[in-house]
């Protein structure tokens, strides 16, 4: 009889339980990703006088697992403007003359996720119109995405590992 080697592999009926992996990812996104992203956005407005609300929503389907954090409520438009920046523009009075101080220190800076109280100083001007110099975009969303990306990747890989056991 000639020598031989037999190698046998038993293939399981199910190699990966897709539903278990999806559920693990969903749990991570609801309990970790969403709350952590919301906290990051909230840091950007800590020093603001008028607080901004942030909401979360989740979309889970067979081919899409999504977490979204966004400004909501009365301050959503203001936040979007600060995030996107503004070019120089003219401001004209509506009902009463414009009244403002000539000096200003903003609460936020571009690409910085912390915030402080703004500061007004200088002479008070009263006028019917003013040429606003505009301001640079703060890019909070891009900054958070860049900083949180590696954390998200680790969390989702851990969720996949847990779900595939």
Q: Where are the domains of the chain?
A: 18-163
Indicate the length of the chain as a whole number: 165
Residue 101 pLDDT? 94
Task: Report how far residue 1's alpha carbon sits from residue 88's, in angstroms, rounded to the nearest whole number.
Answer: 92
| pLDDT means over runs of 10, the chain (165 residues) | 72 82 96 97 93 94 91 95 97 94 93 92 95 96 95 95 90
For Cα atoms 109, 111, 114, give the angle at the middle one, nearest 5 degrees.
60
Residue 1 pLDDT? 62
Distance of alpha carbon 29 from the chain centroid:
14
Task: Report how far residue 80's alpha carbon sits from residue 55's, in angstroms, rounded to the nearest whole number.
Answer: 14
Residue 28 pLDDT? 97
For Cα atoms 47, 50, 52, give the angle at the middle one, nearest 5 degrees.
85
- H or E stretch at 23: helix 18-28
pTM: 0.85
Per residue in 78-91, pLDDT (tens digit) is: 999 999 999 999 99
Task: Report how far residue 88's alpha carbon sits from residue 34's, in angstroms, rounded to the nearest whole number.
Answer: 35
On whether the CB atoms of residues 25 and 61 are closer than 8 A, the answer is no
On whether the CB atoms of residues 160 and 22 are closer than 8 A, the answer is no
Residue 7 pLDDT? 74
Beta carbons within 10 angstroms of residue 29's beta carbon? 23
On whether the CB atoms of residues 113 and 148 are closer than 8 A, the answer is no
């Amino acid at each position: 009889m000639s020598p031989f080697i037999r190698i046998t592999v038993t293939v399981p009926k199910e190699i990966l339980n897709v539903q278990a992996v999806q559920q693990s990812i969903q749990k991570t996104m609801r309990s970790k990703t969403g709350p952590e992203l919301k906290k990051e956005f909230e840091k950007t407005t800590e020093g603001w006088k008028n607080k901004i609300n942030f909401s979360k929503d989740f979309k889970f389907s067979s081919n899409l697992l999504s977490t979204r954090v966004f400004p909501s409520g009365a301050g959503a438009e203001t936040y979007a403007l600060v995030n996107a920046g503004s070019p120089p523009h003219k401001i004209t009075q509506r009902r009463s003359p414009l009244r403002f101080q000539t000096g200003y220190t903003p609460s936020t800076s571009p690409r910085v996720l912390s915030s402080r109280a703004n500061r007004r100083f200088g002479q008070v001007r009263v006028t019917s119109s003013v040429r606003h110099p505009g301001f640079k975009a703060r890019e909070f969303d891009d900054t958070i995405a860049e900083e949180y990306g590696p954390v998200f990747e680790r969390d989702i890989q851990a969720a996949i590992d847990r779900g595939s056991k």
